[in-house]
């Protein structure tokens, strides 16, 4: 665990430097370039970090069925298809669920390796509230783009007041949780200033960047890369060039299928939805099962003797 903390903190330090490189790109290039580069990064690193869910499930499974791969793959694809259908039939419900799942998933990835020594209920609440706070920071600093995307997906106009009030409400909850954690966890107290610095960095990035570029910087640097590190460690027992290559090799077919999938969905529905809507819908469809798989991975790690 000490080694994991060391390398995760090192990754966060690198992410800070790369985040400011992202801000330099914002100052040097147009918004259209940011959007194109953002999509390229999300379709590469972003999709890649969720492409190995099947291998993760196989690594987690203790008992192996007669046809484990086919059964697991079929279940996974059914969940993804169900999410796509949900977004098409009930887009507002699908969007809300996407935000809620993503909030918990982002918070869990950020906090899981930290030794907080608090109750499971408080920890899960922290995961959700923190992840939602990061998303709300992005939303409240890019309200016009958020309103456009929400309208393109749901057909409803989101009020800017709702974005602000929900952000304020969740911020208050986060402050209260922070106070409780300062009293209950010495480790949290020791890292509090660093965590607040991260939030300040996110605020600067989201304020200066477009919606897509701001999301890309956070999603790739602060979520996908740390997640890739933990996944490689979990599956192969160590993070090195050989294991990273094996991970990418195993992920490649699913990554290609994901790109084909979003291409097919776009071709089918391009007359009815703009690209942003299709993009976020597909990301949401993949996010639902991925969130569950990563949660199982973290739970399984806790049961291992050396974790």
Residue 29 lies in a domain: yes
Q: Which residues touch 118 (CB under 8 Å, ≥6 apart)?
A: 126, 181, 184, 185, 188
* Average pLDDT per block of 10 residues along the chain, 307 residues long: 70 88 79 77 76 69 55 70 79 87 90 85 94 96 90 87 96 96 90 94 91 89 88 84 86 76 66 59 69 77 56
In angstroms and rounded to an integer, the radius of gyration of the C-alpha atoms of the chain is 19
Q: How many CB atoms lie within 10 A of CB 238?
A: 9
Residue 148 lies in a domain: yes
What are the b/e assignments for 156-176, b being 16+ CB within 10 Å?
eebeeeebeeebeebeeebee
Residue 68 lies in a domain: yes
**pLDDT the model gives residue 307:** 46
Residue 98 lies in a domain: yes
Residue 278 lies in a domain: yes
Residue 307 lies in a domain: no
CA distance 220 to 216: 6
**pLDDT the model gives residue 54:** 67
Residue 157 lies in a domain: yes
CA distance 132 to 174: 10
**pLDDT the model gives residue 201:** 93
Residue 154 lies in a domain: yes
Per residue, what are the HEC states of the chain?
CHHHHHHHHHHHHHHHHHHHHHHHHHHHCCHHHHHHHHHHHHHHHHHHCCCCHHHHHHHHCCCCCCCHHHHHHHHHHHHHHHHHHHHHHCHHHHHHHHHHHHHHHHHHHHHCCCCCCCCHHHHHHHHHHHHHHHHHHHHHCCHHHHHHHHHHHHCCCCCHHHHHHHHHHHHHHHHHHHHHHHHHCHHHHHHHHHHHHHHHHHHHHHHHCCHHHHHHHHHHHHHHHHHHHHHHHHHHCCCCHHHHHHHHHHHHHHHHHHHHHHHHHHHHHCCCCCHHHHHHHHHHHHHHHHHHHHHHHHHHHHCCCCC
Count of the separate structural domains present in the chain: 1
pTM more than 0.95: no
**pLDDT the model gives residue 63:** 46
Domain range for 168 is 2-302
Q: Are the CB atoms for 211 and 142 separated by under 8 Å?
A: yes
| Cα distances (Å, whole numbers) of residue 119 to 122, 124, 210, 236 | 5, 9, 38, 30
Q: Quick one: tokens of 122?
A: 């408080």
What are the b/e assignments for 48-82, b being 16+ CB within 10 Å?
bbbbbbbbbbeeeeeeeeeeeeeebeeebeebbee
Predicted confidence (pLDDT) per residue in 112-145, tens digit = 888 788 888 999 999 999 999 999 999 999 999 8
CA distance 138 to 103: 12
**pLDDT the model gives residue 250:** 81
| Cα distances (Å, whole numbers) of residue 198 to 62, 67, 126, 140, 297 | 38, 45, 16, 17, 25
């Amino acid at each position: 665990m000490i080694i994991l903390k060391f390398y995760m903190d090192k990754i966060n330090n690198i992410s800070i430097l790369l985040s400011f490189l992202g801000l330099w790109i914002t100052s040097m290039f147009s918004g259209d370039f940011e959007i194109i580069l953002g999509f390229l990064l999300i379709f590469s690193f972003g999709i890649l970090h969720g492409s190995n869910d099947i291998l993760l499930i196989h690594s987690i499974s203790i008992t192996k069925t007669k046809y484990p791969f086919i059964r697991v793959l079929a279940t996974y694809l059914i969940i993804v298809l169900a999410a796509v259908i949900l977004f098409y039939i009930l887009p507002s419900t699908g969007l809300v669920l996407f935000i809620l799942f993503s909030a918990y998933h982002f918070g869990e990835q950020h906090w899981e390796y930290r030794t907080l020594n608090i109750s499971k209920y408080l920890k899960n609440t922290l995961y959700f509230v923190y992840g939602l706070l990061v998303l709300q920071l992005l939303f409240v600093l890019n309200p016009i783009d958020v309103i456009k995307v929400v309208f393109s997906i749901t057909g409803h106009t989101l009020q800017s007041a709702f974005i602000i009030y929900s952000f304020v409400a969740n911020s208050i909850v986060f402050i209260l949780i922070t106070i409780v954690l300062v009293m209950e966890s010495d480790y949290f107290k020791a890292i509090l200033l660093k965590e607040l610095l991260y939030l300040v960095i996110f605020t600067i990035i989201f304020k200066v960047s477009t919606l897509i570029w701001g999301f890309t910087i956070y999603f790739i640097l602060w979520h996908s890369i740390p997640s890739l590190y933990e996944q490689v460690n979990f599956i192969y027992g160590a993070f090195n060039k050989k294991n990273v290559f094996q991970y990418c090799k195993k992920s490649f077919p699913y990554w290609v299928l994901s790109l084909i999938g979003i291409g097919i969905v776009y071709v089918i529905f391009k007359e009815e939805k703009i690209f942003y809507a299709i993009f976020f819908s597909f990301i949401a469809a993949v996010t639902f099962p991925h969130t569950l798989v990563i949660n199982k991975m973290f739970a399984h790690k806790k049961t291992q003797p050396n974790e």
